[in-house]
Homo-oligomer: A and B are copies of this chain.
Amino acid sequence: MSLKIKINDNYKNLKPSYLFSDIGKRVRTFTSNNPDADIIRLGIGDVTLPLPECAVKAMERASGEMGNAETFRGYPPEYGYDFLREAIAERYKTFGVSLKVNEIFVSDGAKSDVGNITDILGNTPVCIPDPVYPVYYDSNLMEGREIVLVKGNTGNSFLPTPEGLEKRAFVIYLCSPNNPTGAAYDKAGLKEWVDFAYDTGSLIVFDAAYEAFIDGGDYPHSIYEIEKAGDVAVEICSFSKFAGFTGTRCAWCVFPEELKCNGISLNFLWSRRQATKFNGVSYIVQRGAEASLTGEGIKQCMENIAYYRRNAKIIADCLEKAGIWFTGGKHSPYLWLKCPGDMGSWEFFDLLLEKAFIVGTPGEGFGECGRGFFRLTSFGSYENTRKAAERLERFFKENF
């Protein structure tokens, strides 16, 4: 029996991703041949430290409230509880950004917002950096949109600029600090994109999921730190990396009131989208997120971030010492290195596993421009990261 309905044919153009299953297979083969090898995983793209205590306490308390007739809560507001939207607005104030509560939409994850935003957009070509978080690319492929890639390379330190891009209206996806390259735009770099968008009438979808890793300097936490960005940019951010919420699920996006297309407010379109296709985030989770934005919460979150930063510095120092070209390691949990000796990503993967018992991620999993590059992350334990750095030092010395 076959249905006679039409399906979304664009799904046929999606390429299956075998990146992490291929990594798993190679690691399994290696360990079965080398059962005593003490493997260290520096490929983890997920936080590993437990949640800050204040978030845990808040969620325990909120769970209890849900079991009590006086404090029980039914359907949450589709756009988030005001207590959380207000806490998020307060956080933006510390970046010098002033947002209204109705410009902030709470969601279950940045991936949902990044993926669902195509719903309110029409058939405009999109502009996506390469390499990049695969959701930008795949979610637009699913809609049959024309995709223009802007290329990251050693020449631009994996921070592509709008230079050379056709002067027309695009939907432009930017991620800074970047996944997977760890590269972050400074204010001048991000301003180039805002100016391009302003001149061409493009929309920027700015993914700020890693902003908590920014460590001083002239690096914006929010795109709205750039003048006129409110006219051209949506911002998507998350509690996943800031508060370790990858398994707890809470994020938000910002649609400034001034963001308009032929007089139609994108904030209004998104509010219709969310009210129709989304029913809000769990009360319990929103209380946890709120707690992470209190003074004590931010302190606890930043202690975890400091732990990962220390790891990143250990790896960065090691790469520098070995004279390896890389981006990230500062303002980011990621390090993106050029495979030495002009090796291919997978070739380097195999060698690193065989000689140093270290697992990383081949860069070509994030786009064509990732060929010959390799991602390491700082989400492991301090002890393992130190041990890995020692091995890396020997590995580079002995092999290159």
Contact partner of A278 (CB less than 8 A), chosen from B11, B109, B231, B283, is B109
Is the beta-carbon distance between A5 and B279 smaller than 8 angstroms?
A: no
Is the beta-carbon distance between B50 and A261 smaller than 8 angstroms?
A: no
Closest residue on chain B to residue A269 by CB atoms = B11
Write out, one digit per residue, whether chain A residues 257-283 have a CB within 8 A of any chain B CB (1) or not (0): 011111110100100110011111111
A277 to B6, CA, bound (A): 21
Is the beta-carbon distance between A66 and B48 smaller than 8 angstroms?
A: no
Residues of chain B within 8 A of A66, CB atoms compared: 50-51, 56, 59, 247-248
Closest residue on chain B to residue A141 by CB atoms = B276
A2-B261 CB under 8 A given contacts A69-B49, A249-B282, A276-B142: yes
Is the beta-carbon distance between A232 and B3 smaller than 8 angstroms?
A: yes
A249 to B272, CA, bound (A): 20
Contact partner of A3 (CB less than 8 A), chosen from B3, B60, B168, B260, is B260
Residues of chain B within 8 A of A25, CB atoms compared: none
Closest residue on chain B to residue A11 by CB atoms = B269
A269-B138 CB under 8 A given contacts A53-B67, A63-B60, A64-B56: no
A12 to B138, CA, bound (A): 27
A200 to B3, CA, bound (A): 8
- Asked if A119 is an interface residue, CB under 8 A from chain B, the answer is yes
Residues of chain B within 8 A of A170, CB atoms compared: 5
Q: List A residues 216-231 near B (Cβ within 8 Å).
A: 228, 231
A7-B261 CB under 8 A given contacts A50-B69, A277-B135, A284-B285: yes
- Asked if A294 is an interface residue, CB under 8 A from chain B, the answer is no
Is the beta-carbon distance between A5 and B171 smaller than 8 angstroms?
A: yes
A266 to B7, CA, bound (A): 9
- Asked if A116 is an interface residue, CB under 8 A from chain B, the answer is yes
Segment from A73-81, A88-96, A387-395 that makes contact with B: A73-81
Is the beta-carbon distance between A8 and B119 smaller than 8 angstroms?
A: yes
Is the beta-carbon distance between B280 and A249 smaller than 8 angstroms?
A: yes
Of the candidates A11, A63, A120, the one having the most CB atoms from chain B within 10 angstroms of its own CB is A63
Q: List A residues 328-381 near B (Cβ within 8 Å).
A: none
Is the beta-carbon distance between A56 and B47 smaller than 8 angstroms?
A: no
Is the beta-carbon distance between B8 and A279 smaller than 8 angstroms?
A: no
Is the beta-carbon distance between B277 and A5 smaller than 8 angstroms?
A: no
Contact partner of A8 (CB less than 8 A), chosen from B8, B47, B120, B203, is B120
Is the beta-carbon distance between A2 and B276 smaller than 8 angstroms?
A: no
A231-B51 CB under 8 A given contacts A112-B277, A123-B6, A285-B284: no
Is the beta-carbon distance between B48 and A5 smaller than 8 angstroms?
A: no
Is the beta-carbon distance between A67 and B50 smaller than 8 angstroms?
A: yes
- Asked if A396 is an interface residue, CB under 8 A from chain B, the answer is no
Residues of chain B within 8 A of A11, CB atoms compared: 120, 269, 272
The 6 A-B residue pairs with the shortest CB-CB distance, nearest first, are: A4-B201, A115-B277, A6-B122, A56-B67, A46-B74, A4-B169
